[in-house]
Structure 1
């Protein structure tokens, strides 16, 4: 089992992780985890724990984990948005087929405002992308 363990363990936190070096090569043959750093994936900070200095191997493992974690979070974010699209479709079906007048009264204003806000942002962002992709016209035209 000890041969299957990674050299590092990353305890996920809100904006990153606490980094531990995993040691199974001790005389008691126990798994020991020694905290070596704290990382922040939002700003890229790597702070050694206590008075430690991090080796090149430590830094490489941390940078590799951060890159993988950022990719994972970005994929999750897109997946969450696609789930929201599904939920909006389910909400539409609910409003059309099941919702009572009282239920609709409770949610209509909040939904309309949220959808209007979302639509405004999406339309503005799409227009920005279209304008950025169009070649610049002749000067003075």
Structure 2
């Protein structure tokens, strides 16, 4: 850990974070974290914790974190899709070179349905994009 702690700590939750103000300026020189807000990334909501009033500095830092977090999540989404393409290729190679009949029996229907569903959505979305460009 560095010598200077950040002023705020964001405990990531499913849709956002709990926001804490970090305090080390006390007699025991302990790290104290005081929850000041809860944020929701999906709807942009910032709720002060309890009866707190957030300062402009609090709001600015929270909004900055929300922007940064949204960028991280967007990057992860596309990275996951690239990984899915890799997994499809690995699955194809496994199917062609290593899979036993018993293994294929376990996964074939699920894979075919998932791939059919994906293909249908991709084709529809591509058609929508092409029609919108004309």
TM-score interval (norm. to shorter)? over 0.9
Superposed CA RMSD in Å reads: 1.2
Under a length normalisation based on structure 1, what TM-score does the superposition of the two structures give? 0.91
Question: What SS is found at the alignment partner of 1:4?
Answer: coil
Question: Which structure: larger Rg?
Answer: 1
Contact 1:20 1:36 in 2 (8 A): yes
Structure 2 stretches of 5 or more lacking a match? none
Count of residues in correspondence between the two structures: 134
Partners of 1:28 and 1:96 in 2: how far apart?
Answer: 64
1:27 corresponding residue in structure 2:
27
Equivalent residues of 1:2, 1:24 under 8 A apart: no
* Residue 129 (structure 1) aligns with: 129
In the superposition, the TM-score normalised over structure 2's length comes to: 0.95
Unpaired runs of at least 5, structure 1: 135-141
Superposed displacement of residue 28, structure 1: 2.4
- CA distance, structure 1, for counterparts of residue 82 and residue 45 of structure 2: 31
User: Matches of 1:4 and 1:84 in 2, distance apart?
Assistant: 40
Shift of 1:27: 2.6
Instruction: Note the alpha carbon deviations across 1:106-131, whole angstroms, 9 max, x for none.
Output: 11111111001000000110111111
In the alignment, the residues of structure 1 paired with residue 30 and residue 109 of structure 2 have an alpha-carbon distance, to the nearest angstrom, of: 59
CA–CA distance in structure 1, aligned partners of residues 16 and 125 of structure 2:
29
Quote the Cα distance in structure 2 between the aligned partners of 1:4 and 1:120.
53
